[in-house]
Amino acid sequence: MTRMIGILAILYLTASSEASAQRVQNDGFARVLGPEWTSRYVISKDARHNAILFVRNGDNFKDWKEMVTIDDFSESSGLSPEKTLDKLETILEKKCPGTRQFAVLARDESSILFRWHSNACDNAPEDDDVGRVMVGRYSWYFLDYGERVHELAPETRAKWIKILSDASFDSVTSSFDPQWMSVDVDEVVPFAMDKVIAALKPAMESQNCNVSLADSSRIECKRPRENDSSKHKGFGGESVTAKLEAKGDQTRVSITTGLGFYGRLAKGNWSTPVYLEMMRNLQRTQP
C-alpha cells in the first residue's frame, strides 16, 4: 500500500478504494502540474473523503518517485489549522510510531504550511514532504508534495512552498468539480443489492438525471439538455448507467457516463457525484 493511500485509510479508519477510468483534468489548483503528470481519483468507502493523487508519467501509484496529493475531507474539522495538524500528526503516529517529524513553516487564520519527513515504515520507503492544511467552514484540505528521498533539494522545496502557499481554498475546491473530472466508478460496497437500487434512483435524480430503465441489475438515466436558466450546471444530454452484481451480502456497482457526440466537449462526467450521493443515501439507512 502506498504511503498516501495508507494515510487516507488511517484518517478515516476505513479502506480507500480507487475508481476505475481514473483521469482528472487539470483544473483549479491541479492546473499547476501540467501534462507530465498522471492522476488517480480515490474515494473512501463511506464517501466522506476523496482525493486526487498525481505521479510523474512513467511512474505508477505503488512505485513512485514524486507524488502530489489533494485530500478533500468533506466535513468541518471544527478545529483551528494548528489543532487540525495536531490531529493529523496524532493519527499518523499510531501507524508508525516515531518515524515522522513535522516543522511548521508558516500559518494564517485558515491554514498552516509545514515540512514533514517520514522514515521507512513497513513497506513504505523514506520520503520528504512539504504540506499545507487548509480549513474551511464545511470542509478541510490537505495538500502535499513528497519525494522518496532523504531530503528535498532546496530549490524543489522552495518551488513547492510557493505553489502550496499560492493555492486558495476556491482553487482547491474547483479541482474536485465534477464538470472537470472524467471518472467512472467501479466499486464493491458493503450493502445488499436491494438497498443499493433504492439508493441509486434518488442519487441519479439529485443530479437532474431522469431514470429511464430500472431492473434488478441495471439502472439508466439521462440528463436533459440545459439552458442558462437551469439550476443544474452542465451542458446536459449525458446518460448515466449503473450495473449491479451481487457479491454475497455486498454489491459491485459500476457507474459510467455516456457523453454521446453532440456537444461532448462541454459535457461532464456524472458517475462520481451519483456514486457519492448513493453512498450518502446508504449511510442514512444505517441504524
What is the overall mean pLDDT for the chain?
Answer: 79
Using pLDDT thresholds of 50, 70 and 90, give the confidence band for residue 194: very high
Scanning the structure block, which residue is given the C-alpha cell 509545514?
A: 114
Comparing CA positions, the residue from 109, 52, 47, 53 lying closest to residue 74 is 47
pTM of the predicted structure, to 2 decimals:
0.62
Are the beta carbons of 108 and 80 closer than 8 angstroms? no
Domains along the chain? 3-178 (3.40.1000), 184-284 (3.30.310.80)
Highest mean pLDDT pick, 29-38, 70-79, 113-122, 165-174: 113-122
- pLDDT tens digit string along 222-277? 988 765 444 444 456 788 999 999 999 999 999 988 865 444 344 567 887 888 88
Q: What is the pLDDT of residues 2-43, one digit of tens each?
A: 344 444 433 333 333 443 333 444 456 777 777 788 877 777
Q: Do 57 and 38 contact (CB within 8 A), yes or no?
A: yes
Q: H or E stretch including 198?
A: helix 193-206
